[in-house]
Amino acid sequence: MLTGTVGKPLPGVEVRIADPDPSGVGEVLARGPNVMLGYYEDETATRKTLVERWLHTGDLGRVDDEGNLYLVGRSKEIIVDTNGKNVYPDELEELYQDSPYVKELSIVGLPDGIGEKVACIVVADDEFDIALSRAELHRLVEEHFREVSASLPYYKRVKLMHFTDIELPRTATRKVKRREVVQILESLEQTQKSGRRVANKDVADADSVWLLGIVASGC
């Protein structure tokens, strides 16, 4: 299987991309004998999700010329910047978390005028090299972020980043709860602007706001 792809559909299963954008990304639709018949005793939800036997998954993805499916995020979690360009968090997380100094991270959109800016909260891996101080570890993570950002168009780059020592909130299936991450980052932003100490237990160990707007040159 190719890196970054979930592979090709199973025999008998059809997959197509609805309303793809110029890069080929759109909602993933699936149809086949293994697709659910509907929600139990909820016809309204069934009609919204199953249309002409096509399951509207809510996942965003693209299909290459060989038929391999790539998932880039959920339609409800898409980030739209101030110029109306779409940014897919899952796609960026795969790039930014590719460092031994990053334990986990989450990328979300924060309000920015008429659109959103790409923001990130990071848990640095302090067990990878125990000889590193906290400041040195954070510096290495920041260097990694700058390197990744330099390879991306400006609208996709992380503009704001906070470190935290607290494990990110997750669902029972271990997916990061991005809505809660947004709340945490918004709390940190408000705290920084007001100069108050952080009282919320979920963000108490967060620090080191980092702005990336300075990397706009040459984009």
DSSP letters along 160-218, please? EEEEESSPPPB-TTS-B-HHHHHHHHHHHHHHHHHTPPP--TTTTTEEEEEE-GGGGTT
Nearest-angstrom CA–CA distance, 99 and 146:
12
Give the DSSP per-residue string, 107-122. Answer: EEEEEETTEEEEEEEE
Tens of pLDDT, residues 87-116: 989 889 999 999 999 999 999 999 888 899
Fold of 78-216: GMP Synthetase; Chain A, domain 3 (3.30.300)
- Strands 160-164 vs 14-18: parallel, antiparallel or unpaired: unpaired
Nearest-angstrom CA–CA distance, 219 and 210:
19
Tens of pLDDT, residues 51-87: 988 999 988 889 999 999 988 878 788 899 988 888 9
pLDDT for position 121 = 94
Tens of pLDDT, residues 117-162: 999 999 999 999 999 999 999 999 999 999 999 999 999 999 999 9
Note whether 162 and 207 are within 8 A (CB). yes
pLDDT for position 204 = 42
Nearest-angstrom CA–CA distance, 119 and 101:
19
User: Within the chain, what is the greatest distance between any pair of CA atoms?
Assistant: 59
The DSSP letter of residue 7 is B
Q: Which two tokens stand for residue 80?
A: 């739209």
Grade residue 2 by pLDDT with cuts at 50, 70 and 90.
low
Fold of 14-75: Luciferase; domain 3 (2.30.38)
pLDDT for position 109 = 93
Nearest-angstrom CA–CA distance, 20 and 26:
4
Q: Please indicate whether the domains covering 14-75 and 78-216 agree at the CATH topology level.
A: no
Q: Which two tokens stand for residue 143?
A: 């260097």
Nearest-angstrom CA–CA distance, 166 and 110:
20
pLDDT for position 194 = 72
Locate the domains of the chain by residue range.
14-75, 78-216
Average pLDDT of the chain? 84
pLDDT for position 210 = 55
Grade residue 213 by pLDDT with cuts at 50, 70 and 90.
very low
φ, ψ (nearest 5 deg) of residue 192: -65, -40
Grade residue 197 by pLDDT with cuts at 50, 70 and 90.
low
The DSSP letter of residue 156 is G
Note whether 200 and 187 are within 8 A (CB). yes
Nearest-angstrom CA–CA distance, 65 and 89:
24
- pTM of the predicted model as reported, rounded to 2 decimal places: 0.71
φ, ψ (nearest 5 deg) of residue 214: -70, -10
Q: Which two tokens stand for residue 91?
A: 């796609």
